[in-house]
Amino acid sequence: MSTRDEILAKVRASEPPALALPDLPRFATKGGSTLDGFKAALVRMGGKVADAPADGDLDVVVRKLFPDARVVCSATAEVTGNRALGDVKAPADLADVDVGIVRAAFGVAETGSVWLTEDELGINALAFLSQHLVVLLDPNRIVGNMHDAYRDRDRFDAGYGVFMTGPSATADIEGVLIHGAQGIRSLTAVLVAPPRV
């Protein structure tokens, strides 16, 4: 008998009498616009919000936010950058990226989270090796709460996906809050719709 069969047999012999799966009610988010909720939640979690450029020039926005950045790598064609993601052979080659730019699939107002998968990231490590991340988010693609986010199962077919909420952080030493633990030091969301195709 393999360990697998042994464990399953033991589990089935030990299972207490069956209890039913509860229904999941719909929990509505508090009143107020999801956009305002998203911005407030993101800032509370240590993230930043930048205005969409009036002229639509996102390159300028990135340059203004990070004037000293040497390596800028964008996973979206909306920003040019100076490191082409397509040229990167190994994820570790992104180690010197100062600013990464991605467009999120959608956001969640309750928490200030953005959803990023391998489709949005190109190379997953971009969202973690970059010192700073700029996230473009369509203001019309913000759902109310995590229940709303998880209700659509198709969103979660990706091989890798992450809800990113602000910068990486830790308070492991005396409860002092640090932004920029192992991952990004800052996350700036720019609320702007993608260009019309």
Partner 1 sequence: MKRIDHAEASSKFIKATDHLDFHDKRLWDLRKKRDRVSEALPEWEQLRVIASAIKEHTLTHLGDYLEEFERNAIANGAHVHWAKDAAEHNQIVFDILGARRAKTLVKAKSMLTDECEMRPFLEKRGIVVMETDLGERIQQLDDEPPSHIVVPAVHKLRTDVARVFADTIGTDRNNSDVHYLAESQRQHTRPYFLRADAGMTGANFAVAETGTVVVCTNEGNADLSVNLPPLYIASVGIEKVIPKIEHLGVFVRMLSRSALGSPITQLTSHFRKPRKGTEMHIVLVDNGRSDRLGMPDFWYSLKCIRCGACMNTCPVYRRSGGLSYGATYSGPIGVIIDPAFDLRKYGSLPFASTLNGSCTSVCPVKINIHEQIYKWRQVIAERRQLPFVKKEAMRAAGKVLSSPKLYRAAVETAGAGVEHLPRIMMYSRLNAWGRQREVPAAPPYTFRQWYLENRTKK
Binding residues among 91-110 for partner 1 as defined by CB under 8 A:
91-92, 95, 110
**Closer to partner 1 by Cβ: residue 58 or 165:** 165
Residue 89 binds partner 1, judged by CB under 8 A: no
Q: Identify residues 140-169 at the interface with partner 1 (CB under 8 A).
A: 145-151, 153, 156-169
Q: 35 vs 178, which CB is nearer to partner 1? A: 178
CB of residue 103 to partner 1, shortest distance in Å = 18
Under rule CB under 8 A, residue 172 binds partner 1:
yes
Pairing state between β 178-179 and 169-170: antiparallel
> Please, are residues 142 and 107 in contact by the beta-carbon 8 Å criterion?
yes
Q: Which is nearer to partner 1, 58 or 120 (CB)?
A: 120
End-to-end Cα, the chain, rounded Å: 58
Radius of gyration of the chain (CA): 20
The minimum distance between CB 63 and partner 1, in angstroms, equals 25
Q: Is 8 in the site for partner 1 (CB under 8 A)?
A: yes
CB of 57 vs partner 1, minimal distance in Å? 30
User: What residues contact residue 144 under an 8 Å CB cut-off, 6+ apart?
Assistant: 28, 29, 34, 37, 108, 109, 110
Torsion, Cα of 155, 31, 49, 117 (10° steps): -10
